[in-house]
Amino acid sequence: MVFMHELGIATSILESVQKEAERHPGAHISKVGVKIGELSGVDRDALQFGFEVLVKDTELDPLVLELEFIPRMQRCSKCAYEFRMTDFDPRCPLCGDLATECISGEELDIAYMEVDE
């Protein structure tokens, strides 16, 4: 079940690269960089594996998928301190306030592609 999910994500990444490739005729895309947030619900190993299986059947092979993990960061609404949320504790480590908001970690974004022209 989980794997099927990552396979869908891998397919979407490949489709995006294919679209980009059409805009650069003759160019060779060697790498695609994707940001995976801690809260994205995507397993990086499963995505990497699914992508490697799928890319073999395309003209983009041997395209490399580079994943960047984005941790869940919180910002304190009171003192503006930004911190990495660990052990699901939203409390501000500086002032102890509970009203902190999530500022990153939901990413599931294509960040860049590397092209050999």
Partner 1 sequence: MNRIAIEKKVLNENQILAEQLRERYRQNGVLCVNLISSPGSGKTALLERTLERMDKSERVAVLTGDLQTENDARRLAKFGFPVRQITTGGTCHLDAKMIGRHLEDWRLENLGLEDLDLLIVENVGNLVCPSSYDLGEDAKIVLLSTTEGEDKPLKYPSIFFKSELMLLTKIDLLPYVPFSADLARENARRIHPGMEIIDVSSTTGEGLDRWMEWLKARQEKVRASLQSAVD
Give the residues lining the site for partner 1 (CB under 8 A): 1-2, 4-5, 8-9, 12-13, 15-16, 20, 30, 34, 38-42, 88-90, 98-100, 102, 106, 108-117
Q: In this structure, is the dihedral angle defined by the CA atoms of residues 53, 25, 27 and 22, taken in order, positive or negative?
A: negative
CA of residue 33 relative to chain centroid, distance: 8
Q: Which is nearer to partner 1, 3 or 61 (by Cβ)?
A: 3
| Residue 59 Cβ vs partner 1, minimum distance, rounded to whole Å | 19
Shortest gap between Cβ of 57 and partner 1 (angstroms)? 19
Q: Do residues 40 and 68 make contact, with C-beta atoms less than 8 angstroms apart?
A: no
Of 16 and 48, nearer to partner 1 (C-beta) is 16
For the bound state, the minimum distance from the C-beta of residue 99 to partner 1, rounded and expressed in Å, comes to 8
Instruction: Count H helices and E strands in the chain, helices first.
Output: 2, 6
d(CA 82, CA 42): 24
How far apart are alpha carbons 67 and 87 in whole angstroms?
23
| 57/86 with CB nearer partner 1 | 86
Taking the complex as a whole, the smallest distance from the CB of residue 6 to partner 1 amounts, in Å, to 9
28 or 56: CB nearest partner 1:
28
Spatial separation of the C-alpha atoms in residues 32 and 51, rounded to whole Å: 11
